Structure 1
Amino acid sequence: MSATPSTFEPATATIAIVTYNRSGLLTRLLTSISEMEPKPGHVVVIDNASTDDTTDVVESLREALAPVAVVYRRMETNTGGSGGFSEGMRVAYELGSEWIWLMDDDVEVLPDGLAKMGKWAPRFKSIQGRRYDYDGSPFYWQYRVAEPLGIPIPFAPAGFDESGYKPMNSGCFEGMFIHRDIVRQIGLPDPRFFIYWDDQTYGWLASRVTQSVVVDDFVLRRTREIKQWDMGIRHLNASSNAYRYYIMRNRAYIKKYYRALGVYRPVPFALGTALTFGKELIRLVFVERTVRGTSNLFRGLSDGRKIAKDASWEPMPPLETATTFGR
């Protein structure tokens, strides 16, 4: 059984960032890390084959980030967020990091962000902090999954009780703070997703081996404005044709994980897929004011059926032979 640490050492943490052709946003994020107190031991930047000046930006900020050690990896091709976070997790794990903090390039870290996350580290090993949206409001995130349906529960109460945390069975790579013990047991994020559902699935896998929590501490701020439809109690963000395709295609990967772990129930899962399709239609009409793009939803479903029939498919393996440790 792995011992729960009594104290958190910031130097044992690594921030792993995935970026693609957004050097301006990456500059803001790296600058915010240089202003943090305390600072992590390492920053890993996974560059998904950017064609802008991302390499120069990272090199120019190495000195400002000192004493944080910067590890820069440029992928040969764009592997999507899924491939980038899988590689970032792998690099951080091989560096010996006890804690790995994942984030996209379109956020910045609040100055005391690592201290806030660290105060929960002695108690939990899969932690999600809160984020401010671009306009300064609390970012709305659905932290619970309806497991039979394989989709997020759409309405996530924002209030916290005196404990300061709530159980979750999902995850978001925009701020996931996870211990290497969990990574060792469940393996790396699955790069086959490319984008979408990858972090939800990874967070769900983590929640099966430890108590995962979202905590009432703001640690990140989004730095990119996204077109939204304000529904009053929540927002619905704009999307893209690529997202629409992967949203539907990757349902097949969730189904594969469910089957491998013995939780797949055909009828509820099919309902979850239908609800996902319907939500994407609503997003097209009310956020993007068009009906063009539905072909990508159908194409995703079609390619997903091919994945579902692949008898050679296997889940991501554990990184090492894991010892069982309690929830």
Structure 2
Amino acid sequence: MSSSADAVADHATNDPQREAFDPATATIVVVTYNRSALLTRLLESIERMDPKPGRVVIVDNASVDDTGQVVDSFRERLGSEIVYRRLETNTGGSGGFSEGMRVAYELGSTWMWIMDDDVEVIPDGLAKMGKWAPRFRSIQGRRYDYDGSEFYWQYRVAEPLGIPIPFAPSGFDASGYKEMNSGCFEGMFIHRDIVAQIGLPDPRFFIYWDDQVYGWLASRQTTSVIVNEFVLRRTREIRQWDMGVRHMNASSNAYRYYIMRNRGHMKQYYRSLGVYRPVLFGLGTALTFVKELIRLAFVERTVRGTSNLFRGLRDGRTIAKDATWRPMPPLTADR
């Protein structure tokens, strides 16, 4: 996009008069996997919403519990149209969100509000997000943690390193928002115009780094913001290491593997956009590795699991060398 076109697009994106927000044009996109009890709590919270979204798209990653029955039980009571997609295999959060956003986009949704199944929506959450919708096109709301505390989300990325800045300021000024260059699929609220430009979330990540990369891509097209609005609450407790100002969550062997493997996909995205700096990106990978060692030692109290980090590094190098790799394509056939 030329600099003049950038200026026009940025002005239009931040013009309060561009378009009024209509809740009926919003779709909540949920990915779930064998957690029907948590999904029930989320759907109950959507039932209490005022206003409600026009649709709720639920992507089921091949669950073997009673997820399908739970969804059916809400069809008459939710107050929003439910679109249910059960996948044949577990595609991870990345594949689930990619499919869910594809469905929402093809159904003509103007806004897509993305979330996992382990949160519930604050009753006026959509109204709070909609208040910012005329000004911005990639918006992140705030979330309460399981214990009711205010969750700190790492909304800034050190781009050359490709890692979050863990101590970016958490306070808000009178504007009520801060610019971000990242994203989180626990509450990302994004306009179809941006989805059309950057394409769908990349299912190749499976889990981890997918939402950060997607938010980063969005921030290259529009002014992305995190707003001082609490719109979600986590409903699942996660073991943590309290570091005082911040905390570190427990992980799993699968997460440890994909955290390192997916640096290969990130490297390819950086190369495709001309921002890859080998030394700095390599430093970011090394810092990520050290962080996971700290997580093992201080949160999970073990040294078992390091083999998954090394396995991820090895497979990430293979991905980074793949000459056939291409980024997700834009959705040019907007409707």
Q: Does structure 1 residue 134 correspond to structure 2 residue 134?
A: no
Pick one of 55, 70, 77 that aligns with 1:42.
Answer: 55
What is the distance in 2 between the residues matched to 1:156 and 1:223? 26
Q: Which one is further off, 150-159 or 16-25?
A: 150-159
Aligned partner of 2:170 in structure 1 is 158
Determine helix, strand or coil for the equivalent of 1:119.
Answer: helix
Matches within 5 A, 1:36-115: 36-66=49-79, 68-115=80-127
Determine helix, strand or coil for the equivalent of 2:229.
Answer: strand
What is the distance in 2 between the residues matched to 1:206 and 1:305? 26
Aligned partner of 1:301 in structure 2 is 313
What TM-score comes out, normalization by structure 2 length? 0.95
C-alpha displacement at 1:321, in angstroms?
Answer: 6.3
Pick one of 146, 161, 174 that aligns with 1:149.
Answer: 161
Q: Is the 8 A contact 1:248 1:297 kept in 2?
A: yes
Pick one of 253, 273, 276 that aligns with 1:261.
Answer: 273
Determine helix, strand or coil for the equivalent of 1:65.
Answer: coil
Q: Does structure 1 residue 287 correspond to structure 2 residue 305?
A: no
Q: Is the 8 A contact 1:247 1:300 kept in 2?
A: yes
Give the aligned residue type for 2:223: Q
Q: Is the 8 A contact 1:195 1:246 kept in 2?
A: yes
Change (3 A) 1:321 1:62: closer
Give the aligned residue type for 1:284: L
C-alpha displacement at 1:164, in angstroms?
Answer: 0.1
Give the aligned residue type for 2:270: Y
Matches within 5 A, 1:243-262: 243-262=255-274
Aligned partner of 1:184 in structure 2 is 196
Aligned partner of 1:167 in structure 2 is 179
State the superposition RMSD in angstroms: 1.0
Aligned partner of 1:233 in structure 2 is 245
Q: Is the 8 A contact 1:107 1:220 kept in 2?
A: yes
Displacement over 6 Å in runs of 4+: none
Give the aligned residue type for 2:71: V
C-alpha displacement at 1:158, in angstroms?
Answer: 1.4
C-alpha displacement at 1:156, in angstroms?
Answer: 2.5
Aligned partner of 2:4 in structure 1 is none
Aligned partner of 1:220 in structure 2 is 232
What is the distance in 2 between the residues matched to 1:309 and 1:161? 44
Q: Is the 8 A contact 1:141 1:156 kept in 2?
A: no
Give the aligned residue type for 1:139: F
Q: Is the 8 A contact 1:186 1:317 kept in 2?
A: yes
What is the distance in 2 between the residues matched to 1:313 and 1:41? 37
Give the aligned residue type for 1:211: T
C-alpha displacement at 1:289, in angstroms?
Answer: 0.2
Give the aligned residue type for 1:37: D
The percent identity for this pair of structures is: 81
Give the aligned residue type for 1:33: I
Aligned length: 321
Q: Is the 8 A contact 1:184 1:319 kept in 2?
A: yes
Aligned partner of 2:131 in structure 1 is 119
Give the aligned residue type for 1:110: I
What is the distance in 2 between the residues matched to 1:91 and 1:166? 30
Aligned partner of 1:325 in structure 2 is none
Determine helix, strand or coil for the equivalent of 2:29.
Answer: strand
Determine helix, strand or coil for the equivalent of 1:173.
Answer: coil
Q: Is the 8 A contact 1:82 1:193 kept in 2?
A: yes
What is the distance in 2 between the residues matched to 1:151 and 1:123? 28
C-alpha displacement at 1:157, in angstroms?
Answer: 1.6
C-alpha displacement at 1:63, in angstroms?
Answer: 1.1
What is the distance in 2 between the residues matched to 1:156 and 1:138? 15
Q: Structure 2, unaligned stretches of length 5 or more?
A: 1-7
Task: Summarize deviations over 1:266-318 as a string: whole Å, max 9, x none.
Answer: 00000000000000000000000000000000000000111111100000000
